[in-house]
Structure 1
Amino acid sequence: MPTYEQIYDTWVSTRLKKQIVVALLKTCYDISNESQDTPNHEKRLRFVEKALNDPHMMALKMSNSVIVNPVVQQGNPTDDDIQFIINSNIDRYAIE
């Protein structure tokens, strides 16, 4: 099990930041193309607008949901790991 210091180092790593930004942008694209019948669609679209306005800031906000994942805490998560976490948590951030 990684120490808190190791988890923190993973959280602030350049690699993880880049993965989160790209996963977020891919998710924004998917949301922009989803059916209007998708639950929470309007809020998700507003989220996309905010995210695309400042993807780095939104990625920083979402990094809290990423770093609590045990796979990420082990270090060197795959792009698929990060994409899954972002996709799974998008509605938690699309609340306004």
Structure 2
Amino acid sequence: MSTHLFTRPSAVAPILMSLAALAMVLGHIALFGTVRQADEGAAAHLFQLLMVGQIPIVAYFAIHGLPRMPRLALAVLATQLLAGLAACAPVWYFHL
């Protein structure tokens, strides 16, 4: 059994998805600014898909990782949570 849970795809995928969502939001802000648009664009829909799509992956990881190695799994879950909050922070701050 691996003692490093960050090697599992179910541990890394949500973090990468959050980082991709954050990069997309920051790129959108850099290109178009923070002015509200009448219609949600493709960037908003992709952001929503990336953020909601990680919920089942995180749940799978929690179900399988917590019973085996609770301390390491909690560290991974905390990292996943922080990455998700980092992706949502610009959206909340700029009211996008």
**TM-score between the two structures when normalised by the length of structure 2:** 0.34
Larger radius of gyration: 2
- Kindly indicate which of the two structures has a greater share of residues assigned to helix: 2
- Structure possessing the higher relative contact order (Cα contacts under 8 Å, 6 or more residues apart): 2
**TM-score between the two structures when normalised by the length of structure 1:** 0.34
